[in-house]
Amino acid sequence: MFEQIVNYFSEIPSTHRSAFLVGGLALFWSLESFIPLFRTKYAKWKHAGINLFFTFTTVIINLAFAWLILKTSDWAVSQKFGVLQWIELPLWAFALLGLLGLDLIGAYFVHWLEHQIKWMWQFHLVHHTDTNVDATTANRHHPGESIFRAVFTTLGVALFGTPMWLVMLYQSLSVFFSQFNHANICLPEKLDKILSWVIVSPNMHKIHHHTTRPLTDTNYGNIFAIWDRIFRTYAFEKPANLKYGLDTHPEAKENATLKGLLKMPFQPYRPPTL
């Protein structure tokens, strides 16, 4: 079984990679109509249009970094450099450790940094100012932020000596789980809580999108919930008590227009409310 996974992701066609993005988005966007967490009325298609623009720019930037990631992976494997190259593991453990490592560096750590460094936060604002979080919000990242994340993914590949088949598996899972935990869907409370001990569940991640601190600075994970618990950035709040967006950017001309969002990183810094 694991050998088949390796073979598949070693030669995964670009159409299949696109299917992970489009298929997951279609699935969760549809489920939002049947089991919504919040029954709010908003211009869903207009909202999706803006967020899909940023999805497109993210895809373009990831394609631009594909060569660098490939060369980094090939170098690390050929030189036996990185955590995965230094220890002997069964294939399943090798894959799990690799996924954990890329999730730590390429998702959790860079996300945490974006909340600590002002100029990085200015780009990350585009993601946080969404006042109607749904599956399309998953890829609502300013092109500048997409570059940050691609750089840290490359760093993760180097540090862990990750082969390309595992990079492809990670990126496919990352897209799917990001859409899952951003989706405006309501899972049974007990199920969501159980899932949140292993993976980032919808209720767990929605806390991160609350309008003010300290909740904004919690629950940074994307795939695995372990990092927020290890680094003590986990928080819990009932969904009914949450409000999306940022109180520093409440105007629709900033948080709901393409022009406003593209300009946002270059405006004067506004300290988040505590």
29-86 residue pLDDT tens: 999 999 999 998 888 999 999 999 999 999 999 999 999 999 999 999 999 999 999 9
Give 20-67 as a DSSP string: HHHHHHHHHHHHHHHS-SS-----HHHHHHHHHHHHHHHHHHHHHHHH
Q: Please give the pLDDT value at position 193.
A: 96
104-154 residue pLDDT tens: 999 999 999 999 999 999 999 999 999 999 999 999 999 999 999 999 999
pTM above 0.85, yes or no: yes
CA 213, CA 200: separation in Å to the nearest integer? 20
Which amino acid, 133? V
Domain parsing of the chain, residue ranges: 14-266
CA 222, CA 176: separation in Å to the nearest integer? 10
Residue 272 confidence (pLDDT) above 90: no
| Half-sphere CA count of 173, side-chain side, radius 13 A | 22
Q: Please give the pLDDT value at position 246.
A: 95
Residue 24 confidence (pLDDT) above 70: yes
